[in-house]
Amino acid sequence: MSVSLDDFPREFVWGTATAAYQIEGAVDEDGRGPSIWDTFAATDGAISDGATGELADDHYHRYDDDVQLMAGLGLKAYRFSISWPRIQPDGTGAANPAGVDFYRRLATSLLERGITPYATLYHWDLPEALEARGGWLARETADRFAEYARVTVEALGDLVTNWITLNEPWCSAFLGYASGHHAPGKRLGSTASHAAHHLLLAHGGAVEAIRAVSPAARVGITLNLYSVKAASDSAADLDAARRIDGLQNRLFLDPLLLGSYPADVLADLGETDWFASNPASDPVRIAAPLDFLGVNYYSRHTVRAGDSAEPDSANPGSESVEFVDTGAPRTLMDWPIHPEGMLDVLEQAHERQPDLPLFITENGSAYEDVVLGGTVDDEARRDYLEKHVAACAAAVRRGLPLAGYFAWSLMDNFEWAWGYSRRFGLVHVDYETQERTVKKSGRWYSEFLTQKG
């Protein structure tokens, strides 16, 4: 094995990640309200295989077995998300006791088996009642989120100390409100950046609320960052790279870690005036001090200047940028594999706040899996995992403050617009029987974590 546990500090955190709507099922149980993903998944043509999260991995009922499975693999941390509409079915008011109870049982089960919980408050399942009032385009949603954070941490703060406010606000804003690939499926061009601002405000308000309730809490946010390269050194291609790096990375890193938006990106979006019209206190709220930054790293973008604007682009204002195939190997998502790009994004965060601990909160790959003789020989996924764990070791060697790694995902699940047709799990799920089968990649991770150094 080219990478070993000895390459990491002893306190390095190792785990896997999941998200509520992708695994829980039980969408109508114990008072859960509908979320935008229930509505979106029920819309004709929204999900490629027509599936929904109604049953998913039935984790709501099988959570204890799933935790036992994690413990058996030697995992020491688990990143899961809390379903907002289980806690506040209408997105406001007191916590629903039955919803709280599920997460108390889950956290207790983890702690009893020596697994540290990392809870994400928002992994995309906005209560439908709030979407009806404007969703993330409404500034009020940011206040609702801070209230939700407060009631949740009041209810769970004795069991959970590691909190992630939002997962990938870029996706919520630009896939949700620009390209329409994700719930709520709106196609509003640059106006999607208003959603991004309200998401960041929501985050800032939640950080404040969490600290007020639980002084012991460690709070962060998770961004999906991409290494971005220009296809050539031409001025036009370099500008294309500046634009995509701007929309994807800097539009979030700068306000969170530096306290201001990148002016070039607001200009690309044509939204300079709208951003300037917001209260002058917004940047301070967004840049609330963090305990860590979560980075989801999957791939690299290589881009060049194109000349035709893509309709309903996820990159409003930069619709003509083209994504180039460099011939690098790709996963089933068609995402090019570039483990070394992980160092680029970690550096990009690190240079903005050198003392801030960093976590890889997601990293993983989808492949066509076949269960044969009680196992899945997913050598390609195992190789992807090993190479990215080795990239983490390189980051540690370089002196970057990388504190942990969470593989996406513990088990196969509902992959958003792809339904069940894309499997990312280290554990295979048979959706007919709900049988779990550890894949070769899962066994590799387990052996890596339990090896004696």
Which residues contact ligand FCB (rule: CB under 6 A)? 19, 22, 167-168, 171, 224, 296, 362, 408, 415-416, 424
- The answer to whether the beta carbons of residues 81 and 162 sit under 8 Å apart is no
Output the smallest distance, CB 123 to ligand FCB, in A: 6
- The answer to whether the beta carbons of residues 263 and 209 sit under 8 Å apart is no
Output the smallest distance, CB 399 to ligand FCB, in A: 28
Q: Which of 131, 271, 319, 362 is catalytic?
A: 362
Which single residue brings its beta carbon nearest to ligand FCB? Answer: 19
Output the smallest distance, CB 355 to ligand FCB, in A: 26
Q: CA-to-CA distance for 383 and 329, rounded, in angstroms?
A: 12
Residue 254 or 362 having the CB closest to ligand FCB: 362
Q: Which of 24, 128, 131, 168 is catalytic?
A: 168
CA angle 69, 75, 80 (to 5 degrees): 80
362 is catalytic: yes
Residue 424 or 445 having the CB closest to ligand FCB: 424
Residue 242 or 422 having the CB closest to ligand FCB: 422
Closest by Cα among 118, 151, 257 to 200: 257
Q: CA-to-CA distance for 343 and 348, rounded, in angstroms?
A: 9
Residue 181 or 194 having the CB closest to ligand FCB: 181
Output the smallest distance, CB 333 to ligand FCB, in A: 7
Output the smallest distance, CB 116 to ligand FCB, in A: 20
Q: Where are the alpha helices (DSSP H) in 49-119?
A: 59-73, 84-87, 97-112
Both tokens of residue 426? 């280290």
- Quote the DSSP letter at residue 172: I
Residue 77, phi then psi, degrees to nearest 5: -145, 155
Question: Which of helix, strand or coil describes residue 23?
Answer: helix
Closest by Cα among 75, 380, 315, 282 to 174: 315
Output the smallest distance, CB 247 to ligand FCB, in A: 15
Amino acid found at 15: G
Element (H, E) at 241: helix 235-245
* Cβ-based neighbours of 233, under 8 Å, separated by 6 or more: none
Q: CA-to-CA distance for 3 and 241, rounded, in angstroms?
A: 32
386 is catalytic: no
Distance between alpha carbon 343 and the CA centroid of its chain, in Å?
A: 18
Residue 140 or 368 having the CB closest to ligand FCB: 368
Q: CA-to-CA distance for 148 and 89, rounded, in angstroms?
A: 11
Residue 362 or 412 having the CB closest to ligand FCB: 362
Residues with a catalytic annotation lie at 168, 362
